[in-house]
Every structure is written in C-alpha cells, then in structure tokens.
C-alpha cells in the first residue's frame, strides 16, 4: 500500500554485521512511497535537513519530515525468528516441565482450541497486535494444525501490517487423537491449501509468506516429511521451519522413531528439508558434524534462550558463539508460549545470560555475547535467518523501512534507566537495550507504514 514519502532526521543506530554496530547521532534517512529506504545521510545538521532533501531530489513539500525529539533515536524493527501464535494465551504456563510432557499437558489441549475459527480470530488478533506493540516487525509463526485458523493468522498479519512467515503446523502422530491431522494426505492437502491462500493474499510475498512447518520429526510420519520435502522442492520461494536438537527427551524419542539416521541433521536433510531456507529452532545440542552440515547447507538457527532455560528439560544454552565463529546464520526467537516472554528485548538479555553460561561451560573459550551482538541477532541476524537479509534488518539503502522510534526521556522514559545530561547516544542505547520495554517504543513502522503509535 502506497504511503506518503517520509524522512527522519536525528540519531540512528543499526548493525552492519555481527561485530559492527553503526551509531549515527546526526543522520537523515529518506523513505519513498513504496516504503523503501532511498537515502541514508550520515552527518546532517538538522537545520539543513530541507536543503539535504532537495539535493536528494526529494522535494521537501512532498515529504513528511519527522524530526526525532530529545532522547529519541531510530533502530531497525525486531525480528522474531521463532514463535507459536496459538500459544499466545498460554504464555508462562508449565514452566520447568520437560518438553514432551509440556506438549501433552499444556500445549496440545490449548492449540486444539483453534479448531474454532472465532476463537482463532480473537486470539490471533491480540497476538499480532501484541507483537507489533513490542516492535516485532517480522515474525516467523507456527500456526496450529488447522487450515482455517492458519489462513486467518496470515490475513490478520497482512491487515495489521506485520511482516510474517505463517505456517500450518504438520502433525500426524504422537499427538492426541483430538489434535492431529486426520491423515498424511490431509496434512499435505491442508498445507497446499494454505500456501495457495497466502499467495492469493500477497502474490509477491512482499509482507506475508507461507512457511512449511513440520512441528518436529516426532509428530510427523516419514511420508509427511517426504511430502513436505517435495513441496519445498517445487516451491523455491517457501521457507521451512522446524524444531531441531532442542532437548534430550526430544532427541532420544527422535532416535527411537528414526533409528536409521545418526543425527537430526541427516534425518531432515534426507527428506529435503535442510537448506538455505531452513529455520532451525533451538539447536541446543549440536555435534561437530551437525554444525558442519548446518553451515554447509546454509541453514539458519533460531536461538530461543528463554524457553531453553525454562521449558524443555534442563538448563539448555545453545552454542551461539560457536555458530557465529563458524559463520552460521543466527537470530533470536521468543518461542512464546514456551518462552514466558514475547519481548525480543527480554530474549536479547537472556541470550547474554545463556552465553555467560556457555562461557563457564567452555572454560572461557566461548566468550559471552555483547550488547552489540545481541542487538545484531534481534535485527540483521534474524532477517538473514528468515531469508530476508537483503530486504530488512538494517538501514541499508534499497531495503524496506521496518523501524522503531525509541523514546527515552520525559513521558517516554517508562521505567528504563534514567538518561543523564552527559550520556552519549551509545550510553543511552545500552540503557535502553538492558532496561527498556515496550513503553519506550514510541512508533513502529513496517515497509514505511505506521503500525504502532
Ligand atoms: Zn517452538
């Protein structure tokens, strides 16, 4: 949808790579009516912003100019690489349980409720709105097993303006009778229907795409995995997501069901589900061989530090430093409802805590993650994991304008660490990342369109 062209004048911060953050106290960023970033000037006197726009052939009279106020700065929108939309109403329940017990006791009865289209509409509407309010401009959603509910979720994302991957979840076994696909054929047919429906909503996949979503191998017959692999091969635009080496209980059950495979990497690769389009949630327990395969095949990792430490079984901390060292794509996932929080700011902080645990476990070899690194994971890293690295994640010219105006002073301060007179932009940024929350997210944009504020 066309929007008036706009320009932002003021401080901006974004990631250039995993190790490099760019802090721009006096920037000017221009966005055209299609929501694309057309210019990023790095050193502009705010008083000369109009002249600068004229020089860019951006007639100031046709542009809405947003001068960022005191204490405000602009950052890219957050990317949540792994979450479960139907768990929106169960967040925080069942903490401390092991994964398969938690699924049976808490999750399956809850997700089964999305059989009711009206319930689905109500909860998904609240879910999409809730994520946007928390600055999550892109989400990779697992839906429930239901076709209608999954279509509703995709439609709501498009209507509300959230960039999203939306997947009908495939489950044909090891789930209760009341919550599994009726048959392999049914599971695949519903998936194809959802793919067609999402394409009819957004033919170019500008904002919303279907994502192939086998929940995990435990709940999928081999024929379903094979069928989804076929769909993936025939549809090179579709991303793929699944849970991968999440917990010991899950890995043991997988080995028992598929004794012919020595690892989950071999299993999913065999069925044609591993490649550059694959988003692998968790990857807590990885052998050297599996890391090599994941790197060679170009898969991305959705690191979900909150659920890894609270639900699933054991205090699990994925080897993120090792992933980064090997050049494996990594982003952050809230994994809510397994994760009790649907805030990426919380996931960033927990990723730091998990990385400090890894530092101890590795006897100092895997250094903990820095603020800059977790910010990268929540933005550019996540974009790459979702196959959108050329489209979003930072303020590179030519990308879509998905962004957040952060406020830190006066009525916008919320409860974050007080900003003091001599604080540098860098210091304010750190205070926000470590102590801010959604009250500091004054405005949120997706593809140039305001979606909050
Ligand atoms: Zn999950």
Question: What pLDDT, in 10s, does the model give residues 211-242?
Answer: 999 999 999 999 999 999 999 999 999 999 99
Q: Tell me the pLDDT band of 1, cut-offs 50, 70 and 90.
A: low
Mean confidence (pLDDT) of the chain? 96
Structural domain 78-385, CATH architecture: Alpha-Beta Barrel (3.20)
Q: What is the whole-number distance in angstroms between the Cα of residue 215 and the centre of ligand 1?
A: 8
Distance 246 CA to ligand 1 centre (A): 9
Distance 281 CA to ligand 1 centre (A): 7
CA of 82 to the centre of ligand 1 (A): 6
Maximum alpha-carbon separation in the chain: 68
Same topology, domains 5-76+396-452 and 78-385? Answer is no
pLDDT at 274: 98
Confidence at 315, pLDDT banded by 50, 70, 90: confident
Q: Which residues line ion ligand 1, judged by CB < 5 Å?
A: 335
Q: Tell me, in angstroms, the distance from the centre of ligand 1 to residue 307's CA.
A: 8
Report CA(94)–ligand 1 centroid distance (Å).
14
Per-domain residue ranges of the chain: 5-76+396-452, 78-385
Whether pLDDT at 61 is above 90: no
Task: Give the whole-angstrom CA distance, residue 138 versus residue 126.
Answer: 16
Evaluate whether the domain defined by 5-76+396-452 bears CATH number 3.30.450.20.
no
Question: Percentage of the chain surpassing pLDDT 90?
Answer: 92
SS3 of the chain? CCCCCEEEEEEEEEEEECCEEEEEEEEEEEECCCCEEEEEECECCHHHHHHHHHHCCCCHHHCEEEECCCCCEEEECEEEEEEEHHHHHHCCCCCCCEHHHHHHHHHHHHHHHHHCHHHHHHHHHHHHHHHHHCCEEEEEEECCCCHHHHHHHHHHHHHHCCEEEEECEECCCCCCHHHCCCCHHHHHHHHHHHHHHHHHHCCCCCCEEECEEECCHHHCCHHHHHHHHHHHHHCCCCCEEEEECCCHHHHHHHHHHCCCCCCHHHHHHHCCCCCCCEEEEECCCCCHHHHHHHHHHCCEEEECHHHHHHCECCCCCCCHHHHHHHCCEEEECCCCCCCCCCCHHHHHHHHHHHHHHHHHHCCCCCCCCCHHHHHHHHHHHHHHHCCCCCCCCCCCCCCECCEEEECCCHHHCCCCCCCCCCCCHHHHHHHHHHHCCHHHEEEEEECCEEEEC
């Amino acid at each position: 949808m066309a929007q008036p062209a706009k320009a932002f004048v003021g401080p901006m911060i974004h990631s250039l790579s995993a190790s490099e953050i760019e802090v721009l106290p006096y920037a000017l960023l221009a966005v055209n009516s299609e929501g694309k970033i057309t210019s990023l000037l790095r050193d502009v006197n705010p008083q000369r912003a109009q002249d600068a726009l004229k020089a860019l052939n951006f007639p100031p009279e046709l542009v809405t100019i947003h001068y960022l106020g005191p204490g405000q700065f602009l950052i890219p929108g957050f990317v949540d690489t792994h979450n479960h939309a139907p768990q929106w109403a169960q967040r925080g329940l069942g903490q401390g349980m092991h994964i398969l017990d938690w699924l049976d006791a808490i999750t399956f009865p809850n997700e089964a409720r999305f059989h009711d289209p009206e319930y689905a509409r109500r909860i998904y509407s609240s879910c999409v709105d809730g994520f946007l309010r928390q600055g999550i401009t892109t989400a990779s959603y697992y839906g429930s097993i239901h076709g209608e509910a999954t279509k509703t979720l995709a439609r709501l994302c498009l209507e509300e303006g959230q960039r999203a991957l939306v997947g009908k979840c495939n489950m044909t076994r090891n789930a209760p009778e009341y919550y599994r696909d009726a048959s392999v054929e049914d599971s695949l047919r519903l998936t194809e229907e959802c793919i067609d429906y999402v394409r009819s909503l957004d033919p170019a996949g500008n904002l919303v795409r279907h994502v192939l979503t086998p929940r995990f191998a435990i709940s999928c017959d081999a024929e379903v995995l094979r069928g989804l692999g076929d769909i993936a091969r025939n549809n090179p635009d579709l991303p793929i997501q699944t849970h991968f080496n999440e917990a010991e209980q899950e890995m043991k059950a997988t080995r028992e069901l598929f004794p012919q495979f020595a690892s989950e990497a071999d299993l999913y690769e065999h069925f044609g589900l591993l490649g550059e389009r694959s988003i692998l949630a968790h990857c807590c327990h990885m052998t050297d061989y599996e890391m090599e395969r994941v790197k060679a095949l170009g898969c991305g990792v959705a690191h979900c530090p909150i659920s890894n430490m609270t639900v699933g079984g054991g205090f699990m901390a994925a080897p993120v430093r090792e992933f980064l060292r090997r050049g494996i794509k990594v982003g952050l996932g809230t994994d809510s409802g397994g994760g009790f929080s649907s805030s990426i700011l919380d996931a960033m902080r927990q990723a730091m805590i998990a990385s400090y645990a890894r530092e101890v476990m590795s006897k100092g070899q895997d250094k903990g993650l820095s603020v800059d690194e977790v910010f990268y994971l929540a933005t550019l890293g996540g974009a790459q994991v979702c196959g959108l690295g050329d489209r979003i994640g930072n303020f590179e010219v030519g990308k879509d304008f998905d962004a957040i105006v952060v406020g830190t002073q006066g009525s916008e301060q919320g409860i974050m660490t007080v900003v003091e007179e001599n604080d540098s932009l860098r210091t304010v940024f750190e205070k926000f990342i470590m102590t801010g929350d959604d009250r500091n997210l004054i405005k949120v944009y997706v593809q140039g369109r305001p979606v909050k504020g």
